Amino acid sequence: MLFLLGTFILFCPSWCVFHVPQEVDVGKMCYKCKKYHLGLCYEVMRSCKLKHKQSCAAENIYILSKKGKSMYHYLRLSCMTNCEDINFLSFEKRTELICCKHSNYCNLPVGA
C-alpha cells in the first residue's frame, strides 16, 4: 500500500496539486463610526464583519498647529482591506492608522 502511495506522489502530474487550507481570519466584528470623540460616536455606532484580508482599523485624526504640534481631533473606526499601521502627514493634519484583528471590536481604544 505504501509503495502505491509513493508511486502516485512520484508520478503525480502537474495538475495534481495538494492544497493546504489557509487559516482565514474572517468573521470577527469591528466598530464602525465616521467620527468618534470622547467616548461618543457622532452618528449611529455600527459594526462591520471582517472579510478576507481585512482588519479592524482605528484612524486617529490630529490637526497640526502653526508651530507643528499635533492636537487630537477625532477617531474614525472601520473595517479596512490590507490595513497596515502607519502615520500620514500633510500640512494641516496627521493621521495615525492602527490595525488589529486579534479579537472582536479591538479597534476601540482602551479607556474610551
Q: Is 16 inside any structural domain?
A: no
This prediction has a pTM of 0.72
What b-and-e string marks burial along 72-111, b requiring 16 or more CB atoms within 10 Å of the CB? eebbbbbbbeebeeeeeeeeeebebbbbbbeeeebbbeee
Residue for grid cell 461618543: 40
CATH of residue 51's domain is: 2.10.60
> What is the domain range of residue 69?
25-112
* Distance of alpha carbon 108 from alpha carbon 23, whole angstroms: 25
Q: pLDDT tens digits for 11-47?
A: 444 444 444 344 445 589 999 999 999 999 999 999 9
| Whole-number pLDDT of residue 13 | 46
pLDDT at 4 > cutoff 60: no
Assess if residue 35 is contained within a domain.
yes
Is residue 93 assigned to a domain? yes
The cell for 45 is: 455606532
What integer pLDDT is reported at residue 7 of this predicted model? 43
What's the number of domains the chain is made of? 1
Q: Is residue 44 included in any domain, yes or no? A: yes
Task: Answer yes or no: is 85 within a domain.
Answer: yes
